[in-house]
Amino acid sequence: MLDFHFHLARLPEPFLVGKELQKLGGKGVLIACEPWEWKACIPLLSAFPQTFFPCFGIHPMIAEQVFSQELEELRDFLQKFPEAFVGECGLDKRFPGYAPGEVQERLFVSQARFALELHRPLMIHMVGDYRRALSILESLGFPDSSAFPIFHRFGGDKEVIKRGLSLNAIFSIHPDSFRKASTKAILKEIPPENLRIETDADESFPIQNPDGTQRTPSEIAQSLLQQLQAVEKKLQSL
């Protein structure tokens, strides 16, 4: 089971959860989308080199706090980890600086350029206008052989899938991807090779059992895998 998008460093006791996941045969793309999280992922990546794969970027939620220094630092991280994806990055209408030409877009474009220059997949967070993100990618010259978009926690519609597929996009499916009727209705049109599944687990992932007791690292690992299995099952039943 491969979790295509999760934030292990934001979970309690990440080393122990990582160890339990490894035992259960789980793998994952480790998302680090703030400078502190890049650093927190380094020891996890070296402890579990065959289990977790890096993805370094800057999330639109902190776009206003980012300057050229952080972007330089991000580029260094990406160069040190030649297998790392870029992201998660993108646009989110709930956070400041969302309008066209504002700070979120500038930050997204910088990271999309890193993906093209370094030939890496680009992990995209999109809450708002998918068409705007697609137009940006198209105008920058996506795709190339290794730089293609991954739409994480996918929530787009038929047109987004069509235009995304022409950019060799991957659509990463989360339990929330089934919420919007217009998304749910067209998920089955995505070719299996362009589909992945994810938990997007972070500090908001439930760490208590239904009876109110604290989940152990082993129970957290099991519930992550159960969530992936549930998504897979839902996709099969479409």
| Amino acid identity, position 193 | E
Asked if 156 and 173 touch (Cβ cutoff 8 Å), the reply is no
The stretch near Zn ion (CB under 5 A) out of 23-31, 70-78, 96-104, 211-219 is: 23-31
| Amino acid identity, position 96 | P
Nearer CB in complex with Zn ion: 31/86: 31
Site string for Zn ion, 31-50 (x = CB under 5 A): x-------------------
The stretch near Zn ion (CB under 5 A) out of 27-35, 69-77, 131-139, 217-225 is: 27-35
Residue 146 in 3-state DSSP? coil
Separation in Å, CA 58 to CA 13, 107, 111, 172, 186: 23, 8, 8, 19, 30
Question: Which structure tokens are listed for 9?
Answer: 């460093």
Nearer CB in complex with Zn ion: 93/188: 93
Give the C-alpha separation, 170 to 183, whole Å.
15
Site string for Zn ion, 107-146 (x = CB under 5 A): ----------------------------------------
The stretch near Zn ion (CB under 5 A) out of 29-37, 93-101, 135-143, 186-194 is: 29-37
Nearer CB in complex with Zn ion: 117/176: 176
Give the C-alpha separation, 64 to 116, whole Å.
24
Beta strands at 195-197 and 122-127: parallel, antiparallel or unpaired: unpaired
The stretch near Zn ion (CB under 5 A) out of 36-44, 134-142, 165-173, 192-200 is: 192-200
Site for Zn ion in 194-213 (CB under 5 A): 200
Q: How many residues bind Zn ion (CB under 5 A)?
A: 2
Nearer CB in complex with Zn ion: 17/31: 31
- Which residues, including other chains, have CB under 8 Å from residue 129's CB and lie 6 or more apart? 91, 93
Question: Which structure tokens are listed for 224?
Answer: 């992550």
For residue 205, what is the DSSP state?
A: S
| Shortest distance (Å) from residue 212 CB to Zn ion | 27
| Shortest distance (Å) from residue 198 CB to Zn ion | 8
Asked if 224 and 198 touch (Cβ cutoff 8 Å), the reply is no
Query: Residues in the site for Zn ion, rule: CB under 5 A?
Result: 31, 200
